[in-house]
């Protein structure tokens, strides 16, 4: 038997950047994201002779398969299932050029293929909780459009739900790849390191207000508000990294240059905003009409830049 699921990546507009419980991946804050059409993972689960993990058709070493099988064992435990040998094959349609982490789509697809393989009767709320245990951001990739991961206080209450799966907003994301090097610090390590910043607690205290403002911006179809709030929230996350002890940053010189270009475009009346995750690459939020101008400027300012255009993507689906 073989079951395949597809899930799309998402970009957080209000970021998750801190864990209350590392084992269960319970977050310290609620987050809100946009699911992206251009980037997705397809994961198949089938009966195997032994546990095997193939990524993009390449068999992975035991070490890199470890996170996958530790996760699957947790799921098997929670449903009282035996540790059957499984062959997991995943294809990531998330080009490194996107500068987007694939863990959100990867664990959402893995959780969904697991439930399909064992024919488990789970609703999307439960599926979101299961995906969360693999990677926090994966909880939001269960849904299309805009999704909110409510932080909750325990395993049962921490899950994502859809805010608007078919948004009317004219919103596009340009993934600007400035740097192909693997990130210096994983998101797990970065989140840990950030927590002793003197600004971490004040940031947490703002989470409810920022989330509510973002929800209002989405409900009012207000791109200006959405973009400026997303940019502020990303800058807060990176300011926390810069003020942690010891301090660190994901920014590279080209990240700052890209930020300045976005500001320059805005001054010229070409409205766009940036958001940045745990890496040096920049994602630009823009209405459709500005894409051409933005691309033109970035292609002329950076010699090796790759730019991929995305918009709203769908939630998780079972393919066979």
**Residue 236 or 277 with smaller CB distance to ligand PMV:** 277
Residue from 89, 137, 158, 207 binding ligand PMV (CB under 6 A): 137
Number of shown-chain residues binding ligand PMV (CB under 6 A): 14
Chain positions 246 to 285 lying near ligand PMV, rule: CB under 6 A, are 277-278
60 DSSP assignment: P
Q: Is 103 in the site for ligand PMV (CB under 6 A)?
A: yes
C-beta neighbour count of 272 within 10 angstroms: 22
Whether the Cβ atoms of residue 315 and residue 165 lie closer than 8 Å to each other: yes
CB of 119 to ligand PMV, least distance (A): 28
Closest to ligand PMV by CB, 36 or 72: 36
**31 binding ligand PMV? (CB under 6 A):** yes
Q: What dihedral angle (degrees, nearest 10) is formed by the CA atoms of 93, 94, 95, 99? A: 180
Indicate the helix (H) or strand (E) that contains 175: strand 172-177
Which of 3, 5, 8, 12 is close enough to bind ligand PMV by CB under 6 A? 12
Which whole-number Å values give the CA distances from 267 to 12, 264, 272, in the listed order?
A: 25, 5, 10
Asked if 110 is part of the footprint of ligand PMV (rule: CB under 6 A), the reply reads: no
Q: Which residues lie closer than 8 Å to 61 by C-beta, 6 or more apart?
A: none
Exactly one of 9, 135, 141, 254 binds ligand PMV (CB under 6 A); that residue is 135
Compute how many other C-beta atoms are within 10 angstroms of the C-beta atom of residue 184.
14
Determine the interface stretch with ligand PMV among 11-19, 57-65, 123-131, 222-230 (rule: CB under 6 A).
Answer: 11-19
Q: Is 35 in the site for ligand PMV (CB under 6 A)?
A: no
CB 148 within 8 A of CB 263: no
From 187, 241, 255, 281, residue interacting with ligand PMV (rule: CB under 6 A): 187
Q: According to CB under 6 A, which residues from 212 to 241 bind ligand PMV?
A: none
CA 149/CA 139 separation, integer angstroms: 7
Which residues are near ligand PMV by CB under 6 A? 12, 15-17, 31, 101, 103, 135-137, 187-188, 277-278
């Amino acid at each position: 038997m073989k079951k395949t699921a597809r899930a799309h990546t998402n970009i957080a507009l209000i970021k998750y950047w801190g864990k209350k419980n590392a084992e269960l991946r319970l977050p310290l804050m609620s987050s809100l994201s946009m699911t992206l059409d251009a980037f997705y993972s397809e994961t198949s689960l089938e009966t195997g002779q032994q546990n095997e993990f193939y990524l993009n058709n390449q068999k992975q070493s035991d070490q890199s398969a470890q996170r996958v099988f530790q996760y699957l064992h947790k799921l098997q435990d929670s449903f009282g299932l035996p540790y059957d040998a499984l062959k997991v094959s995943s294809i990531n349609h998330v080009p490194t050029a996107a500068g987007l982490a694939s863990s959100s789509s990867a664990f959402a697809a893995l959780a969904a293929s697991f439930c399909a393989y064992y024919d488990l009767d789970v609703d999307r709320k439960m599926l979101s909780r299961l995906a969360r245990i693999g990677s926090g951001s994966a909880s939001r990739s269960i849904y299309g459009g805009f999704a909110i991961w409510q932080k909750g206080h325990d395993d049962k209450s921490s899950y994502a739900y859809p805010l608007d799966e078919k948004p009317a907003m004219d919103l596009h994301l340009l993934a600007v790849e400035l740097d192909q090097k693997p990130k210096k610090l994983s998101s797990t390590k970065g989140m840990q390191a950030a927590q002793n910043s003197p600004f971490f607690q004040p940031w947490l205290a703002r989470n409810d207000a920022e989330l509510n403002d973002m929800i209002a911006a989405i409900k009012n179809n207000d791109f200006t508000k959405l973009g400026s709030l997303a940019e502020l929230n990303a800058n807060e996350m990176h300011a926390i990294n810069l003020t942690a002890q010891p301090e660190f940053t994901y920014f590279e010189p080209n990240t700052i240059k890209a930020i300045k270009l976005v500001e320059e475009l805005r001054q010229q009346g070409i409205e766009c905003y940036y958001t940045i995750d745990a890496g040096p690459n920049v994602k630009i939020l823009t209405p459709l009409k500005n894409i051409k101008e933005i691309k033109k400027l970035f292609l002329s300012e950076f010699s090796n830049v790759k730019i991929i255009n995305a918009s709203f993507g769908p939630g998780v689906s079972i393919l066979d």
